Amino acid sequence: MTPYAIVAPFLRILTRFPGGWGTRYSETMTVDPTQHESRDVYKLLIGSVVPRPIGFISSVSADGVRNLAPFSFFNAVCQNPPTVIFSAGLKGASSADKRKDTLRNVQETGEFVVNIVGSDIAAAMNTTSGDYAPEIDEFEVAGLTPIASETVRPARVKECRVQMECRATQFVTVSDKPGGACIVVGEVVRIHVDDGIVDGYKIDPAKLDAIGRMGGNTYARTTDRFDLERPVVK
Ligand SMILES: Cc1cc2nc3c(=O)[nH]c(=O)nc-3n(C[C@H](O)[C@H](O)[C@H](O)COP(=O)(O)O)c2cc1C
């Protein structure tokens, strides 16, 4: 009998309690999210869904203040029309306005820019994630260069090798409970790609050098890649 088999019955009793260690059958940890602290479930989510791409979102407030922040609950979800989403967590009940600056700006103006983060600006990207007051311009805080967009008011990040100008098409509030979030859906109306990283329409991933987010404060590079041919089913 293994040591685990001896303690397993006691573990099962422990895990009946909220905040317990998760039900363990055999060698699997099985968690009912409703029975655990939301922050612990969050750790399982962000530790499992990896690496997550980072949407470095530039927006502007209704009265013209620039804003820049990273969001790793981010992805491209449709090609026609080209569509991206990101999810902004809602602040605690103590805040008069639960929205992060990015979400408030995009809801007020309907516009944002997604910038793709290379490893060369990882530290600057991280700097912009501080909880700065709405009147603070994170471009300045992080020493990044704003350049004008063609079709929307928010600036692009010059140091990013891909920038996408977007118009918000939908806002989906997943939940306004603590830990809840609002998903922003946006149509990409312009794509800017550094000439030096693209051949035709094919982006060289080595030159893009995008980073992704793992759990905690860990990031991944995109330097270890491999190819697989798609099966042709006749
Ligand atoms: C790499 C990274 C990814 C992040 N992803 C998210 C995310 O997906 N959703 C979110 O609400 N906050 C995320 N954050 C935290 C926000 O960037 C942070 O709350 C920021 O202050 C929001 O800025 P804002 O109030 O100017 O919108 C992330 C932070 C980092 C460093």
For residue 101 and ligand 1, the question of a CB distance below 6 A is answered with yes
Span 3-40, pLDDT tens digits: 655 665 565 555 555 555 666 556 899 999 999 999 99
Tell me which residue has its CA closest to atom 30 in ligand 1. Answer: 70
For residue 125, is it left (φ>0), alpha (ψ between -120 and 50) or beta? alpha
Cβ atoms of 138 and 132 within 8 Å: the answer is yes
- What the chain holds in terms of domains, given with CATH numbers, is 3-36 (no CATH), 52-218 (2.30.110.10)
Span 189-230, pLDDT tens digits: 999 999 999 999 999 999 999 999 999 999 999 999 999 999
Can you give the C-alpha Rg of the chain in angstroms? 21
Q: Which residues contact 214 (CB under 8 A, 6 or more apart)?
A: 46, 47, 50, 51, 52, 220
What's the gap in Å between 71 CA and the centre of ligand 1? 5
Tell me which residue has its CA closest to atom 4 in ligand 1. Answer: 71
In angstroms, the CA 127 to CA 121 distance is: 10
